[in-house]
Structure 1
Amino acid sequence: MQERNNYTKIEDFLSDQSFRQWVEYHVDQQKWEEWTLEDSKRAKLVEEARLWLLSMKVTKLTIDELNVEFALEKTWEKINNLENKNTTTQRPVIKLWETKWFKVAAAVIVFGLILNFFSNTPSFLKNELQVYNELVSENMEGLVEQTNNSDKSQIITLSDGSSVLLQPNSKLSYPKAFIGNERKVYLSGEAFFEISKDAKKPFLVFANEIITKVVGTSFRIKAYENQPNVEVVVRTGKVKITPNESVTNSDQEEIILLPNQAMRFVRKDLKFDKITDITTDKKLVLNSNNIEQLSFNFSDTPVSQILKTIEQAYLVEIDFPTEKLKNCHLTTSLNDQPLPEKLKIICKSIGNNTSYEMNGNQIIISSQGCE
């Protein structure tokens, strides 16, 4: 965000999406309030930009097009008359851009252009954050919101043992404990989910326009508020996707995805595209994360190598007694388990009072070696 230090005009702020989110929805992920208060001159400019933005939140112009056109014609008529008068009398030329009425007219035109820009902005740029906030507000379970403002992914462990790898500039709202017959979480941004199995209690991810329903599987959802598409990519298991109530004029029925399949929702056209083989889609392949590419099938593999694979997949740091585990090997499959379950299986397989502690992206394994 160093770029905003060079903002000198109101237009600079109006074109900054994070600034608009702060003013309109009180979402301050980029710490605009703190940045504003650092400099009194800056605060004045920010306040002017804020008032401009708030003034543009109107549903309809109060002046019809004919009156606007008439006013503009009169303005240009005055300009022509003034120029002719100055030419005839040879009086000192008045610089039009220095006159008060010209500045007012220019401001009106600029205001109109900016208003037109915002009114023609795709609806997903204006309403996405609002959809997320509305969905969260409807939940009565007492949600916890985790926002990733860093440049690295963050691990979130849910009360049912499921794990979520939350990407930068993303946020997830979830209950401290799941109650009722469903497990519901809410995503804005991107995350990779590994869901613990519970056939009696399906897991639902509300990601703005779509609802992803699973029992126990792993998949990635990409639903950033400022991007034209929403994507769901399945790694293991099966997921079901349906549009939520915010997607009007859509008769799309439930979409079922299997491993290595994906769905892309095109916001502009309200269109759902199913991709039966993700390897044929260059964008999906390019955007895949380590956790989607690495294999968790191990055959007589050193424990140290297994732990290194987990570090690469989840971008975590694992501290373990290298010497005590150097002769330990495992044969196991960890493809369809959340991170906590993977660690439990490894520790149980090693035995000899092996255990782990997990604090965010830091994991510590204690062990006396293999049995």
Structure 2
Amino acid sequence: MEKKKHISDDAWEAIAKQLYGQENVGGGSPATGSWDADQFAEISETAAQIDQYFNLKKFDAEVAYQQVRPRLETTRPMRQISWFNQPVLKIAALVVFALLLASVGFYMGNHSWENLRTAGVIVDDYGISRIELADGSVVTLNRDSKINYPEKFSASAREVEIEGEAFFEVQPDPTRPFVIHAREATIKVLGTSFNVNAYPQNNEIEVVVASGKVQVSKTKAATNQQNDLILDPGDKGVFATKSNELRKSKNDNPNYLAWKTRDLIFDKTSLKEVLEQLNKVYRAQVRTADPELDQLLLTARFENRPLDFILEVIALTHNLEMTNENGQYVLKK
């Protein structure tokens, strides 16, 4: 085998410059000295093939884009729209923005309280919630009731808003009156306990005072009408929303707080009234099968007893039969 001839660094440099179109430094031929024309031609051909291979391997971005472009156009058919160049959309955006500002202004101006927080709310087995407010006052909510209150009361007043029924035990604070907004009525106290019934489906807002003194006022005062009441313990104030009238009387319902205590007192009470009270307190469906049974009288006291127990006592007292038909209790002969 023929021995490979040694190639000096100067010879390699001269060959490379000639292959890539550069003049040889010093003006000499790359074959000068140790190289002949045949060897140089062979090396030149080999170098040209290698150079062509690597040129073909180079990434052509323009070619690649042209290949991918049809797929991009089919998967992204939507064109960009300059929203605020469209007159109708400009007007709609301005209207929405104006309504948003008005809503925020109304809320800030009329509601300094925040929405009910579930933290700190205790719900018992009957679905009744107990909430302790920032000043130490306690509110017990009946089912299907809501309250809005602030995390911290202001320095001048304590304000809350309710919908439904609630019993308030307000901590005394002569410097900061406690104000309750209940639909069309406003209740103002300094320190007392009382019950408020203001369900939206009712035509009356009822306040019964257990202790202390309570002022009930219309949210919108009217001329030539009584616009507020002062209630003492045992008093009941009623605001009739349809007639816009305030009425004051003595509370004659011993069971006005039974939804909270589950203590029920009946003194020669008709069975019709008894069942109405049970349906309200226990959120049940109890009825008689015969209207004549509604006139039966009941005298009894139940202290936090379950509904089934009370109905069994009524059935035994009047020799009736009690059935449960699809969740509805029926008393019959």
TM-score band, normalised by the shorter chain? 0.3 to 0.5
Structure of greater relative contact order (alpha carbons < 8 Å, 6+ residues apart) = 1
- The structure whose residues are more often helix, as a share, is 1
**TM-score after normalising by structure 2:** 0.42
Larger radius of gyration: 2
**TM-score after normalising by structure 1:** 0.38
